[in-house]
Chain A
Amino acid sequence: MITNFPLLSLIIWLPIIGGVAVLVNGDDNPWARPLSLLVSLLTLVLSIGLYTGFDNTTYQMQFVEHASWITSFNINYHLGIDGFSTPLIILTAFSTVIVVVAGWQVIEQRVSQYMAAFLIMSGLMIAVFAALDAILFYVFFEAMLIPLFLVIGIWGGPNRVYATIKFFLYTLFGSVFLLLALLYLHHVAGSFSILDYHDVALSMEEQFWLFLAFLIAFAVKVPMWPVHTWLPDAHVEAPTGGSVILAAITLKIGGYGLIRFALPITPDASLALDWLVIGLSLTAVVYIGFVALVQTDMKKLIAYSSIAHMGFVTLGLFIVFRIFANSATGSGAVLAVEGAMVQMISHGFIAAAMFLCVGVLYDRMHTREISAYGGVANTMPTFAGFAVFFAMANAGLPGTSGFVGEFMVILAAFQANFWFAFLAATTLILGAAYSLWMVKRVIFGEVANENVAKLEDINRREFWMLASLAIIILAIGLWPAPLTEVMHASVEHLLTQVSQSKI
């Protein structure tokens, strides 16, 4: 393998340049769709190269690229990936392909702008996962908001302006504190390298404020209760592609940020404030689970279920401190963090699939109200099969990826505290309740009205789009080892970092 080949840069800039190329070609260009598909597929293929070329045995950053960018401030174009970022990058590249396919016929206005926005966003998000320079990270972290803001605002639903401005300001508000934290760390560490931040010694007071800044920034992204309110609005108003990217990738950036910044940089504050994060996570799991139950809008229901599922991610990341306190070996801690990671990847696929299912129905009926449907299985049998499968995966059926992550986190939670595990396990009931009840009302039963009676089953494009997701969800559910192996060394390294005091 050529070690100096800038594969990461290629994966970042190919979709961005491809997106610009699609954009300048104009809206009437028939090549907009095929070109976008080609670019996104190529990115996916290249990103698989990251997986095959990845060395599982080390936690060190791989595929490292380093170039000077802003010399007077010593800000560098510094990229590299470890076991946490690799799966997320592949997830991003894959989701972009799905989004391009999903928008193929549905988007009729400003096609090239739509495709370009998603391609550019894909490059920016991959860069967020790969950036090892704090300012570089922040630039991509924020730049990503611009295309998503436009996607929701231009192609969204009736209340799109409110939703997109709320989304933008909410996330911006969180991230400016991240910027302050990064600048303060530069002041202490004397460099903008994230890896240097990991090693810098900090007093408890410093860690406390830095941790709060990280938490605000990433809790908004995750989103954690009570700063989640932008997500249902954004999801409901966003076009299907926007919802898929929001659920599959942008939420993961929150979890990734906690792993990359909060835990290793401020371990003592994380330990001191773990009750806060655990409390908020369990609230998300239980309370938001109930909120999801009463939704009448399908997208809103899935949005709330996303918040509940992301609660598992934050729970898994922060129960490690309790596990360390309870057992000397801390073997459960590995399970907890890997569970959180698997949950992120799995939720990326499942939530994307669920939103695509809603999108399929919405394209035909132009409503997302559960009450407008009923008996869809009679007219769309193939679709019904997929929808039921994805709902089962969302509920955490063993054999699907949804089960693996939740199960690992619940198992680890037992080592932390019985009641944590007990409350977390309620999701198995609540998740099943809201997912399956929705399926029952929408898919099964008598044909509810003549609109449903006129429905046509999914076409080949939609079939393959959903089938590819179903295959991956099953694959991870049955054989999660390839996923956990990639991250194993990095997880152990993270745990040594969090168990060492920095005071």
Chain B
Amino acid sequence: MFEVTNMAFALPEMFMLAMACVILLVVAFLGKTAAGPAYMLSQLTLAITMVLIYQSMGETAGLTFDGTYIKDIFSDILKLAICALNIVVLIYSTSYLKERGLFKGEYYVLAIFSTLGMMIMVSAYHFLTLYLGLELMSLCLYAMVAMHRDSAVATEAAMKYFILGAIASGILLYGMSIIYGATGSLALTTIADTIQAGGIDNTVLSFGLVFLIIGIGFKLGAVPFHMWLPDVYHGAPTAVTLFIATAPKIAAFAMAMRLLVDGLGDAHQYWQDMVIMLSVLSMIIGNVVAIAQTNLKRMLAYSTISHIGFILLGILSGSQEGYAAAMFYALVYSLMSLGGFGMIILMSRHGFEADNIDDFKGLSSRNPWYALMMLILMFSMAGIPPLVGFYAKLTVIKSVVDINLMSVAVVAVVMSVIGAYYYLRIIKVMYFDKAIQHEVLQAPVDMRVMFSVNALTVFVLGIFPGSLLALCASVFS
């Protein structure tokens, strides 16, 4: 069987690669003055890539590059989301970087290459392609965390991230090799067919699955493979934390879906219990430990862990509806997380990181508008209607109720109540406490507007969640 390589399926990635090289050259030639042009070029690249993806969305889906690469509606939507998120991330981070002397062209080069890695992860239909995408993304992220060379915390975070990330990649590779041993192929289509046909050694298969799931757990940040996440989120410059906390989560979600559902969907019975453990532990540890945090970045890191637990709920259900719910949750989570870290950047200024919860004291009297926006984000993360976070929780919990896993559903809802406490604490600090400082916001206009749009999207999607839910449902029907 030989199929013609359809280059058009990977057109957005090719464009992005070309542009990444252009930006790299620009940065190399302009040196210290390159940051401004690199920023503009990066935004342009992301925007045009979005257009390219959008234009090809109606076209036929299919495999290309000898079955290693796939273009389907799932990948199109997630790639659009990744590019859109990164456009906003770059807007948020630019003022932050400028004020701290980190406004360098390298940041943007790394950002674009990392975005390319994410897009390859989303479209990968072969173990090697997937691994390439993952490493391209991860290596850029390690470097971005370490960008603030003089900061001991950031360097420490980068080291932790790199070492643990490398171990995780190694474990993932090991898992892939065992599955290769069991099924005789690295291509997801062949693996799926082989498993469906039966007759393979299930012990070897589940042994490989264990390592695969550990690798996925590491990249997602699910308990007990979450240790790196709070330290990296806390230690990295907030602009980088913002970058790590949004689009890469979507890419990691896509990787989990490709491996577990597309490749090993028929081995559902073997991985379901493992994912249940990851999910339940993540919800419990993430929510409980978040209560004890005084640093907002750390708190949001633990809250991320708990949200990952919820996303896994949708995946473990093994139903079309559950996958759609998990996808909806991943999109909504990254939107909320974007706002949450965006708020920290918005409040920060030179020489002052607004990353302690106490820095938000009395915000509603100082800045009623931004306090309201943060209120929306926090209630949404807590899953209180009528905000979009509620529907995310609703749909994933519905998917586990529908397969009669009531005990897991009970853990999920109880943990969401515990989780509500620390989000309420932020609101309490903003609305009920007296201000200790009266300084004016210094964030530029584009950042302010973008942040307001971000939070209001969370609100509007909460009132009209129908279209996004329908879109996610259509992917899996």
Decide if B431 touches A72 in the complex (CB within 8 Å). Answer: no
Bound-complex Cα distance A69 to B462 (A): 12
Decide if B466 touches A138 in the complex (CB within 8 Å). Answer: no
B39: shortest Cβ distance to chain A, in Å?
Answer: 35
Interface string of B395-409 (1 = CB under 8 A from A): 101100110001001
> Residue A145 at the B interface, CB < 8 A?
yes
Decide if A71 touches B470 in the complex (CB within 8 Å). Answer: yes
> Residue A146 at the B interface, CB < 8 A?
yes
Bound-complex Cα distance A306 to B427 (A): 29
> Residue A502 at the B interface, CB < 8 A?
no
Decide if A72 touches B386 in the complex (CB within 8 Å). Answer: no
> Residue A177 at the B interface, CB < 8 A?
yes
Decide if B421 touches A169 in the complex (CB within 8 Å). Answer: yes
Determine which residue in B397, B421, B427 has the highest number of CB atoms from chain A within 10 A of its CB, and name it: B427
Decide if A169 touches B409 in the complex (CB within 8 Å). Answer: no
Decide if A72 touches B432 in the complex (CB within 8 Å). Answer: no
Given contacts A161-B432, A176-B413, A180-B410, contact A168 B466 (CB under 8 A): no
Interface string of A372-409 (1 = CB under 8 A from B): 00000000000000000000000000000000000000
Decide if A187 touches B466 in the complex (CB within 8 Å). Answer: no
Bound-complex Cα distance A163 to B173 (A): 52
Decide if A150 touches B431 in the complex (CB within 8 Å). Answer: yes
Given contacts A73-B469, A165-B421, A187-B401, contact A135 B394 (CB under 8 A): yes
Given contacts A69-B466, A153-B428, contact A169 B385 (CB under 8 A): no
> Residue B417 at the A interface, CB < 8 A?
yes
Q: Which residue of A lies closest to B418 (CB)?
A: A169
> Residue A492 at the B interface, CB < 8 A?
no
Bound-complex Cα distance A186 to B409 (A): 15
Interface string of B426-448 (1 = CB under 8 A from A): 01100110000000000000000
Bound-complex Cα distance A238 to B404 (A): 41
Bound-complex Cα distance A179 to B394 (A): 8
Decide if A143 touches B401 in the complex (CB within 8 Å). Answer: no
Decide if B398 touches A183 in the complex (CB within 8 Å). Answer: yes
Bound-complex Cα distance A70 to B395 (A): 12
Interface range, A side: 20 to 34
Beta-carbon contacts under 8 Å, B461-477 to A: 465-466, 469-470, 473
> Residue B326 at the A interface, CB < 8 A?
no
Bound-complex Cα distance A183 to B406 (A): 11
Contacts of B166 in A (CB 8 A): none
Bound-complex Cα distance A186 to B394 (A): 12
Decide if B384 touches A187 in the complex (CB within 8 Å). Answer: no
Decide if B417 touches A180 in the complex (CB within 8 Å). Answer: no
> Residue B420 at the A interface, CB < 8 A?
yes
Determine which residue in A183, A186, A187 has the highest number of CB atoms from chain B within 10 A of its CB, and name it: A183
> Residue B414 at the A interface, CB < 8 A?
yes
B interface, over-half SS: helix
Decide if B401 touches A70 in the complex (CB within 8 Å). Answer: no
> Residue B128 at the A interface, CB < 8 A?
no
Residue among B384, B394, B431 making CB contact with A143, cutoff 8 Å: B384
> Residue A17 at the B interface, CB < 8 A?
no
A317: shortest Cβ distance to chain B, in Å?
Answer: 26
Beta-carbon contacts under 8 Å, A104-148 to B: 135, 138-140, 142-143, 145-146
Determine which residue in B379, B432, B465 has the highest number of CB atoms from chain A within 10 A of its CB, and name it: B432
B388: shortest Cβ distance to chain A, in Å?
Answer: 12
Contacts of A180 in B (CB 8 A): 397, 401, 406, 409-410, 413
Decide if B431 touches A153 in the complex (CB within 8 Å). Answer: yes
Given contacts A172-B417, A176-B417, A187-B402, contact A154 B432 (CB under 8 A): yes
B458: shortest Cβ distance to chain A, in Å?
Answer: 14
Contacts of A154 in B (CB 8 A): 431-432
Contacts of A160 in B (CB 8 A): 432
Decide if A186 touches B432 in the complex (CB within 8 Å). Answer: no
Bound-complex Cα distance A145 to B387 (A): 13
Contacts of A161 in B (CB 8 A): 428, 432
Contacts of B417 in A (CB 8 A): 169, 172-173, 176
Contacts of A187 in B (CB 8 A): 401-402
A178: shortest Cβ distance to chain B, in Å?
Answer: 10
Decide if A139 touches B401 in the complex (CB within 8 Å). Answer: no
B452: shortest Cβ distance to chain A, in Å?
Answer: 14
Bound-complex Cα distance A169 to B421 (A): 7
Contacts of B394 in A (CB 8 A): 135, 179, 183
> Residue B270 at the A interface, CB < 8 A?
no
A107: shortest Cβ distance to chain B, in Å?
Answer: 16
Bound-complex Cα distance A140 to B421 (A): 20
Contacts of B466 in A (CB 8 A): 69-72
Contacts of B384 in A (CB 8 A): 142-143, 145-146, 172
B400: shortest Cβ distance to chain A, in Å?
Answer: 9
Contacts of A73 in B (CB 8 A): 395, 398, 469
Q: Which residue of A lies closest to B401 (CB)?
A: A183
> Residue A464 at the B interface, CB < 8 A?
no
> Residue A184 at the B interface, CB < 8 A?
yes
> Residue B390 at the A interface, CB < 8 A?
yes
Contacts of A150 in B (CB 8 A): 431
Contacts of B416 in A (CB 8 A): 176
Question: Could you list 6 A-B pairs, sorted by A, with CB under 8 Å?
Answer: A71-B470, A139-B390, A140-B385, A169-B417, A179-B397, A186-B398
A positions within 8 Å CB-CB of B: 69-73, 135, 138-140, 142-143, 145-146, 149-150, 153-154, 160-161, 164-165, 168-169, 172-173, 176-177, 179-180, 183-184, 186-187
Q: Which 7 A-B pairs have the closest CB atoms?
A: A176-B413, A139-B385, A72-B470, A72-B473, A70-B466, A183-B401, A153-B432
